[in-house]
Each structure stands twice: as structure tokens, then as C-alpha cells.
A = this chain, B = another copy of it.
Amino acid sequence: MKAMEDKIRSEAHVLPGEILLVDAFLNQQVDVALLQTLADAWYERFGDRKITKILTIEASGIAIASIVAARFGVPALFAKKYDSHNLTGDRHETVVYSYTKCKEYTIAVSRRLLTADDHVLIVDDFLANGCALTGLIELVESAGATVAGIGIAIEKTFQPGGHMLREQGYEIYSMAQVKRIDVENDTVEFEPVPIIRYDRPEA
């Protein structure tokens, strides 16, 4: 999406470690008008999927999920993070490895709030190695619910998460796909042709 790429070009900064600093519009200050534009695009793609819930992971996905939930007219749902694995019977839980923080943590949602009837649109700010997203998918599937689609604000296509999950059959619609980050020149190169291929499992 051009609006997202333009925003990254004009307001993001590149930091060592192939980090894209987007705190001016996505994950500390949030440009809500931009999020509404993303929400419209995801609604155009996924609006016919009988979505019942928008799922994300705290904290930086919450703003996106809230605005998208408003667009779809359904509740937003946030998986919570826990430092320790503390299995209680009333939650769906899974363990996620964070490359950013170099440690494992547990994510969980209440069994009351995610059930087999749900058709879930998962959204998040970034997709890189795919660990957080894989965890969210596991929560949905352990509830017997359906992953109806995945919306990502910024995908780093030079990392494997998006490719791996598309091969597994998940439909991911990323609003910007970053092919290369050049730290020395503080520039970002986007995929010239959007990567959208996915292989749905045979019915």
C-alpha cells in the first residue's frame, strides 16, 4: 500500500540490527488516520469472511486491532504476555520465542473469549521471524476456531516468517513489505511486486 510505504519513507528510521523505528506513527505515537486506511484495505480483502473477532498480542498490536475491530464491527481480543508458563485450565496458552528480547514468554487468551465458533482475523504491527504470529495461530487453532486471515502492517520479507506461514496455507495481507534495510544510508527498499501467494489446503 502506497500510503504505508510513503509513511515509512518519510517518518521511519533505520537502526543497527535491521530495526525499523516506527514510534512516530505506529508503536508509541499512533497515526490513527493511517490505521483507518489499513483497516479499510483489510476490510476490502477479508470483509466477506464472516469475521467474529480481531486478535492481536499486547502491547503494540492493540491500537491496530482496535481500529480494525471498529471497521469490522466486531470485538478486538488481545493475547496477554506472561514471563512464566503458568498453566491454568481457563486459558488457551502457548510459548513464544522473542528474537528481539532473546527469551521465551507465554501468551494466553481466556477460553471464555475465544471459542470454536470464532472466525478470527489476526493483526499485528510487524512480521519478521513469525514467532509471535505462529503463537497467535496456535491459540486460535487450540480453541478450535478458524484463522480467517492475517493482516500485517509491516512485513520484513528478508526474514522467513511470512514465507513460512504462506507455505502453510495462511493468507497474509501485508501493507508494506520491506525487502532490504540499509543502515548506512537510513533507507528502506520495498518489494517491487507484492508477495501474496498462498496455498490453501485442498478442501
How extensive is the interface on chain A, given as a class? 20 to 34
8 Å CB contact of A63 from B27, B32, B62: B62
Question: Is A5 close to B, CB under 8 A?
Answer: no
A30 within 8 A of B: yes
Contact among B23, B62, B77 for A62, CB-based, below 8 A = B62
Residue A33 CB within 8 A of the other chain = yes
CB of A66 within 8 A of CB of B32, answer yes
Q: Which residues of A contact B (CB under 8 A)?
A: 23-25, 27-33, 35-36, 53, 58-59, 62-63, 65-67, 69-70, 73-78, 80, 109-110, 112-113
Not counting A23-B113, A29-B78, a sample of 18 additional A-B residue pairs whose C-beta atoms are within 8 angstroms of each other reads A23-B110, A28-B78, A28-B113, A29-B75, A29-B77, A30-B65, A30-B77, A30-B78, A32-B66, A32-B70, A36-B70, A58-B59, A58-B62, A59-B62, A62-B62, A62-B66, A63-B63, A63-B76
